[in-house]
Amino acid sequence: MSNRLDEQYRGILAELLYNGREKETRNGKTLSKFGMQIRHRMSDGFPLLTTKKMPIKTISTELLWFLKGDTNIKYLVDNGCNIWNGDCYKNYINNPAYKAESVADLMSSQSVQLVKCSTQEEFINKIKTNDKFAAKWGDLGPIYGSQWRSWRVGKGIETTLKTEDGQTLYESGSMYIDQIKHLLNELKTNPDSRRLMVNAWNVGEFDQMVLPPCHYGFQCYVVDGKLSLMWNQRSVDTFLGLPFNIASYGMLLMLLCKETGYTPGDLIGNLGDTHLYSNHIEQAKEQIERSSFNLPTITLSDVDILNGEFNFQLENYKSHPSIKAPLSN
């Protein structure tokens, strides 16, 4: 048994292993290529790799977090999703108050009172157990969810905008645009539009983000009753990140279809700097030697995108064991 998705993915791993160019980056050495692509027909099955076991609950939790417009990791850690822990902890220890060597230094910093956590484990436990601490130190700035659901408008929206059925999309004077809400309305009322897009690349707010978005935007396309989605990604951690991105956008596509009545079409990923970290090379070699299984199916229920709610049932998922690899934050 085999599936085209795993074959494409292993092909990218092999291309990086044997033809990738060596680069020195901010977080380690990589083998890199530019301008690769993933294409998947959703009718072939849900795009969850089978050559290593993928944590679907973690993937869905992060997607829910995005859709809720949340940017604080407390929701993630409370639900067993730890993929943003390292970035949040690094942001915490780089704060001037954390580095303060004396009470005088601490008082002179612009930060409010800080209770030091000397390890990431201690920090995450504090996020879980102390709501005030989590509110202050768990936020990652205006990353994905913030841009998707509340893109800031400098001068405010001048006129009230309503949908065809009379529902208000934006009130006059609003300082934020809900891109997901706008996209859903356009898919229902103007499916031939070439502006069915959501963008997270807000240059004016980079200085407030713990990390600029890696997958920075997506576009939808409707034809013959089928909805396709293409996402663009500037930076692609191929071994750890890309399998998450594929499944996450596949799930988002299915959610959009559930809300709008379309059938899932194609899922396409345009990949910029596609790289393999030097400490993932042996793991990648192991994965490309594995055969693949048929893709699973997934059933969605209780879908309410604007409230960040849905349930799912994954069926017929057969995979090889997971392959551990260190995060490169």
Among candidate residues 87, 98, 94, the one with its CA nearest the CA of residue 138: 87
Among candidate residues 227, 317, 326, the one with its CA nearest the CA of residue 3: 317
DSSP of 150-175, one letter per residue? Answer: -EE-SS--SS-EE-TTS-EEE-TT-S
Distance, CA of 119 to CA of 15 (rounded, Å): 38
Query: Tokens 């800080």 correspond to what residue?
Result: 114
At 191 the three-state DSSP class reads coil
Q: Which of 81, 88, 117, 214 is catalytic?
A: 214
Sign of CA dihedral 305, 233, 201, 196: negative
220 tagged catalytic: no
Distance, CA of 260 to CA of 251 (rounded, Å): 14
Distance, CA of 15 to CA of 39 (rounded, Å): 16
Burial of 81 (0-12, 13-18, 19+ CB in 10 A): buried
Name the packing angle between helices 241-260 and 56-68 (round to 10°): 60
Exposure letters 123-150 (e unless 16+ CB within 10 A, then b): bbebbeeeeebbebbbbbebbbbbbbbb
Beta strand 226-237 with 263-277: parallel, antiparallel or unpaired? parallel
Catalytic residues: 214
